[in-house]
């Protein structure tokens, strides 16, 4: 024991000495004049990769050919293929079809009745779930109709449906390939990391070049952004299939193809459907961002309302997206959790397809009745409720009534927190910052982790984005700090109180289904634009994991440890701060990791309210059709997010090991 204690003491001395040396080196860099190359990265050292990348992508989209066939024609043909089911589904559900004729009036085929679509959704919800789910689904689709959002909602639903089909198909194929070829999976994992952390803005410009401005380019960007979780879940699900199932396929004499698609994939059905659930939610999360390049639908309504400062209208469309997200989430989850029943008694076709027959009968009935009662087909304009006008009035009342309090909160936070932190990050010498990043990485996970952090931040400096990156980083760091402080306090309350936990769980569920743009609406209407509304929006968006994981960690402390502490004479305060909180720290750190990743995700959206970091570069790249700048700046944001992710996971492993808890992978 004495030898172990001395080794721990010597290790602590070494770490302290290293940290002291780093502090001295960083302070030395900080005292150097601004003209020194260790303080401000010299402009002569920067490398312009954005311009060549832009030129190459423009050449690829305009002049490159494959065996005499222009690459642009190939991508446009793929876009046309995708557009056909999208236009058909959108026409059937929302817009109808118009055929123009030279010598006669246009021939119009109307869409399906709104009542028929609603009844079919309710029947599906009741079949796969419960009566409560059916009632919720009915209320959601009735909301679309009553508030005049039906056509936009159906276009959004059509877009998400096609994106999920394409993304699910490609994701399963990549997942199966990763399962069959472990080296391919190892190669794809970092690509998935980049795809999930790369801002969606960075995808939009290449999509415009290859597919043109419009809903198809937005649809393709959505597929690429939402694809990685499906691929990852597929590989993990196939690896988790019991060996007995795999052996059964071999014993039955199935070929490799048959074992994969007839044995393994069906056996992993539940996990694959949960991956599809993630694909749906990610697709809905980006519908407003995709509207920047002409996606239309509810996202387009929100964007147009934001640009014209009609916050009530933006809020109404934002609520519609939220309700659609909750409905699709619960429906897909109910399908995933539904037990698959193998029939032993042969039933007739009608009995086996009751849901299909019921939906067809309901649709036929509503179509027939709508010839007599047109309101059953198209919701009357006279019956619509203008929620936007009411919301605009509420916004004006809040702004005028609480102007002094709102202004005081905004200005105080800017003066005392935001501005000093921003000045500090912008004045930190780049060399000292990179040095600290490297040493922290080495202390947490060794030289490989240190090399990752140093390489990413040095690359940001080399590409000429250091100042922009520091502006982005200061907003993220402050937002994460505030989110974790508030999230820890609320999560601790939920971990100690069952009633509070139920209320907080409902709150977190709502926060995690709200699209990112929805968070901008209240902060813009209250605080105008700038860093402060961006800070508030990020905190609101990223706080949910801090609450959820803190409560889960506190409630997950083993009973035998609590009983042991009680037998040792711990009072309530000691039980909380000396037993429960320390043992919950690994779980809380998992929440911190999620908070950081969500903060970086929301950071990109805040470019629309005037932030000036790397996120602004990705947004400007869209208007200038400059894919190089958009991709390089997006990779900078993704790189910083990956560094935080790896460092927090390494700290979590160390902490869990010291506490004698299972070490997370």
Kindly report, residue by residue over 114-127, the tens digit of the pLDDT.
Answer: 999 999 999 999 99
User: What is the arithmetic mean of pLDDT over 393-402?
Assistant: 76
Q: What angle do CA 495, 501, 502 make, to 5 degrees?
A: 160
Mean of pLDDT over the chain:
84
Tell which wins on pLDDT, 496 or 254.
496
Q: Which domains does the chain carry?
A: 70-111+147-340 (1.10.3720.10), 467-665 (1.10.3720.10)
**C-beta separation of 94 from 296 below 8 A:** no
Helices (H), 181-199: 182-197
The pLDDT score that the predictor gives to residue 415 is: 92
| Phi, psi torsion values for 70, nearest 5 degrees | -60, 135
Percentage of the chain modeled with pLDDT above 70? 92
Q: How confident is the model at residue 19 (pLDDT cuts 50, 70, 90)?
A: low
**C-beta separation of 432 from 26 below 8 A:** yes
**Bridging pattern class, strands 97-99 and 65-66:** unpaired
The pLDDT score that the predictor gives to residue 11 is: 56
Q: What is the pTM of this model?
A: 0.84
Percentage of the chain modeled with pLDDT above 90? 30
Query: What's the CA gap between 449 and 441, in Å, rounded?
Result: 5
Query: What's the CA gap between 217 and 286, in Å, rounded?
Result: 13
Query: What's the CA gap between 318 and 337, in Å, rounded?
Result: 28
Query: What's the CA gap between 238 and 287, in Å, rounded?
Result: 30
The pLDDT score that the predictor gives to residue 493 is: 95
- In terms of Cα–Cα distance, which of 539, 552, 576 is closest to 491? 552
pLDDT for 70-81, tens place per residue? 887 888 888 888
At how many degrees (to 10) do helices 516-527 and 387-401 cross?
40
Q: How confident is the model at residue 22 (pLDDT cuts 50, 70, 90)?
A: low
Query: What's the CA gap between 638 and 118, in Å, rounded?
Result: 40
Count of C-beta atoms within a 10 Å radius of residue 218: 31
User: What is the arithmetic mean of pLDDT over 461-484?
Assistant: 96
**C-beta separation of 91 from 105 below 8 A:** no
Cα Rg, the chain, nearest whole Å: 28
Query: What's the CA gap between 394 and 389, in Å, rounded?
Result: 9
- In terms of Cα–Cα distance, which of 188, 218, 196, 223 is closest to 205? 218
Q: How many residues does the chain have?
A: 665
Position 1 pLDDT exceeds 50: no
User: What is the arithmetic mean of pLDDT over 636-640?
Assistant: 93
pLDDT for 345-383, tens place per residue? 556 667 777 888 899 999 999 999 988 888 988 888 888
Tell which wins on pLDDT, 167 or 201.
167
The pLDDT score that the predictor gives to residue 573 is: 87
Q: How many C-alpha atoms does 530 have within 13 Å on its Cβ side?
A: 10
The position carrying tokens 């934001």 is: 306
Burial class, 355, CB count within 10 angstroms (exposed 0-12 / middle 13-18 / buried 19+): middle
The DSSP 8-state label assigned to residue 434 in this structure reads H
Position 484 pLDDT exceeds 70: yes
The pLDDT score that the predictor gives to residue 10 is: 56
What does the block give as tokens for 32?
């150097």
Q: Which helix (H) or strand (E) holds 444?
A: helix 430-445
Burial 587-602 (b: 16+ CB within 10 A, else e): bbbbbbbbbbbbbbbb
The pLDDT score that the predictor gives to residue 25 is: 67
**C-beta separation of 305 from 291 below 8 A:** no
Position 8 pLDDT exceeds 90: no
pLDDT for 425-454, tens place per residue? 998 889 889 988 988 898 888 889 999 999
- Of the listed ranges 20-34, 515-529, 621-635, 642-656, the one predicted with least confidence: 20-34
The pLDDT score that the predictor gives to residue 647 is: 93
User: What is the arithmetic mean of pLDDT over 178-196?
Assistant: 85
pLDDT for 208-240, tens place per residue? 888 877 788 888 888 888 888 888 888 888 888
Integer distance in angstroms from the first to the last C-alpha of the chain?
29
CA distances from 643 to 41, 76, 215, 616 (A): 21, 37, 34, 21
Count of C-beta atoms within a 10 Å radius of residue 361: 12
- In terms of Cα–Cα distance, which of 547, 563, 539, 411 is closest to 483? 539
């Amino acid at each position: 024991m004495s030898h172990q204690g001395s080794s721990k003491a010597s290790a602590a001395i070494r770490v302290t000495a290293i940290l002291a040396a780093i502090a001295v080196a960083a302070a030395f860099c900080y005292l150097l004049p601004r003209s020194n190359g260790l303080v401000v990265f010299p402009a002569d050292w920067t490398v312009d990769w954005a311009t060549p990348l832009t030129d190459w992508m423009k050449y690829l989209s305009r002049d490159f050919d494959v065996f005499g066939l222009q690459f642009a024609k190939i991508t446009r043909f793929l876009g046309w293929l995708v557009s056909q089911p999208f236009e058909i589904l959108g026409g059937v559900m929302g817009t109808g079809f118009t055929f123009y004729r030279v010598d006669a009036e246009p021939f119009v085929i109307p869409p399906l009745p709104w009542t028929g679509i609603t009844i079919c959704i309710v029947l599906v919800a009741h079949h796969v779930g419960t009566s409560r789910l059916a009632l919720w689904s009915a209320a959601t689709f009735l909301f679309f109709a009553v508030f005049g959002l039906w056509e936009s909602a159906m276009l959004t639903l059509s877009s998400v449906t096609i994106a999920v089909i394409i993304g699910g198909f490609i994701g399963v194929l990549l997942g199966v390939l990763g399962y069959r070829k472990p080296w391919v999976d190892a190669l794809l994992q970092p690509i998935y990391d980049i795809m999930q952390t790369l801002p969606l803005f960075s995808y939009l410009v290449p999509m415009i070049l290859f597919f043109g401005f419009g809903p198809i380019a937005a649809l393709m960007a959505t597929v690429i952004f939402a694809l990685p979780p499906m691929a990852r879940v597929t590989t993990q699900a196939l690896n988790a299939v019991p060996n007995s199932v795999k052996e059964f396929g071999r014993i039955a004499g199935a070929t490799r193809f048959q074992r994969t698609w007839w044995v393994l994939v069906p056996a992993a059905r539940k996990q694959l459907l949960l991956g599809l659930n993630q694909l749906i939610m990610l697709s809905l999360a980006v519908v407003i961002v995709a509207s920047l390049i002409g996606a239309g639908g509810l996202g387009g309504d929100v964007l147009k309302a934001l640009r014209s400062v009609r916050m009530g209208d933006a809020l109404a469309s934002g609520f519609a997206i939220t309700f659609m997200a909750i409905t699709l989430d619960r429906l897909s989850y109910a399908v995933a959790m539904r037990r698959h029943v193998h029939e032993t008694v042969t039933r007739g076709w009608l009995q086996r397809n009751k849901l299909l027959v019921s939906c067809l009968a309901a649709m036929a009935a509503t179509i027939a009745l709508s010839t007599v009662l047109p309101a059953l087909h198209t919701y009357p304009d006279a019956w619509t409720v203008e929620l936007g006008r009411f919301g605009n009035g509420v916004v004006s009342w809040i702004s005028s009534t609480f102007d002094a309090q709102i202004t005081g909160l905004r200005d105080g936070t800017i003066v005392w927190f935001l501005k000093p932190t921003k000045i500090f990050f912008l004045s930190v010498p780049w060399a000292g910052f990179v040095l600290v990043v490297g040493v922290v990485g080495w202390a947490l996970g060794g030289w490989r982790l240190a090399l990752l952090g140093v390489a990413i931040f040095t690359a940001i400096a080399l590409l000429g984005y250091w100042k922009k990156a520091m502006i982005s980083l200061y907003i993220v760091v402050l937002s994460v700090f505030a989110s974790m402080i508030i999230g820890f306090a609320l999560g601790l309350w939920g971990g100690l109180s069952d009633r509070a936990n139920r209320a907080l769980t409902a709150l977190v569920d709502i926060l995690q289904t709200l699209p990112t743009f929805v968070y901008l609406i209240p902060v813009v209407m209250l605080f105008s634009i700038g860093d402060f509304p961006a800070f508030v929006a990020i905190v609101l968006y990223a706080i949910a994991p801090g609450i959820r994981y803190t409560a889960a960690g506190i409630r997950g402390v083993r009973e035998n440890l609590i009983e042991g502490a009680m037998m040792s004479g711990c009072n309530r305060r000691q039980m909380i701060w000396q037993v429960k909180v320390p043992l919950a720290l690994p779980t809380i750190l998992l929440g911190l990791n999620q908070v950081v990743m969500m903060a970086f995700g929301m950071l990109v959206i805040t470019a629309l309210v005037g932030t000036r970091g790397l996120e602004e570069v990705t947004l400007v790249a869209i208007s200038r059709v400059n894919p190089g700048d958009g991709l390089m700046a997006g990779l900078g944001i993704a790189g910083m997010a990956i560094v935080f992710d790896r460092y927090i996971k390494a700290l979590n492993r160390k902490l869990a090991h010291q506490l004698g808890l299972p070490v997370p992978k």
